[in-house]
Amino acid sequence: MTKLANHPQGESSPEDGSRSRTRTDGGDGRDGAGDLPGKPTEASRTTLSHIMTGSDTNLLGTVHGGVIMKLVDDAAGAVAGRHSGGPAVTASMDEMVFLEPVRVGDLVHVRAQVNWTGRSSMEVGVRVMAERWNESTPAQQVGSAYLVFAAVDADGRPRPVPPVIPSTERDKRRHQEAQIRRTHRLARRRAIKELREQRAADGIDEG
């Protein structure tokens, strides 16, 4: 059974965020849509909870990583849609880290929030927590991820999103970290593009 719930203000959640007004991954240098009012981080912060069952396991008897990734994408998509006020599609998964195995009987909580916004894109940070369904022990972090979503209209074209307004110092730190990740993404793409162009110019045939 899966349950989707809003996160109350101030409750810890994902892994990313801070003040927003920057640019899309397309790189126009602008922050969110300037004519749209900003939204605080907690307005779309969400938790998706799910009990792991035997149908979720891999050959080792632990929960399949793909099952966790789907829950991450589902929670992040809900957050992106709520923040942008409409449809949003997954553009990329910037990072997915599995810290501990998840087992049958674990109650998994997937906590997500918007960390950063561009004109039509959003970085969503996700933290995955797990606890035994029938025990009162504290939940343990078992994974984290960062995803980039693009807001689209009915025709699938990019549409503007409101800037996210970080609510806490943690949110501001996550926003700053999101900007670092974005800078690294763009630098990596440029470096790879330049490498390929240089190899082509040198006449290197990769066969």
The fraction of the chain above a pLDDT of 70, given in percent, is: 84
- Averaged pLDDT for residues 106-110: 98
Could you give the angle at the alpha carbon of 164 between the alpha carbons of 163 and 169, nearest 5°?
140
Distance CA 65, CA 70 (A): 9
pLDDT 10s digits, 145-170: 999 999 999 999 999 999 999 999 99
Quick one: which H or E segment has residue 91?
Answer: strand 88-98
Q: Maximum CA pair distance of the chain?
A: 64
pLDDT at residue 30 above 60? no
Which one, of 87, 80, 91, lies nearest residue 26 by Cα?
A: 91
pLDDT on residue 161: 97
* pTM (2 d.p.): 0.81
pLDDT 10s digits, 125-148: 999 999 998 888 899 999 999 999
pLDDT on residue 33: 58
Name the band, by pLDDT with cuts 50, 70 and 90, for residue 68.
Answer: very high
**88-98 vs 140-151, strand pairing mode:** antiparallel
Token pair belonging to 116: 């950063």
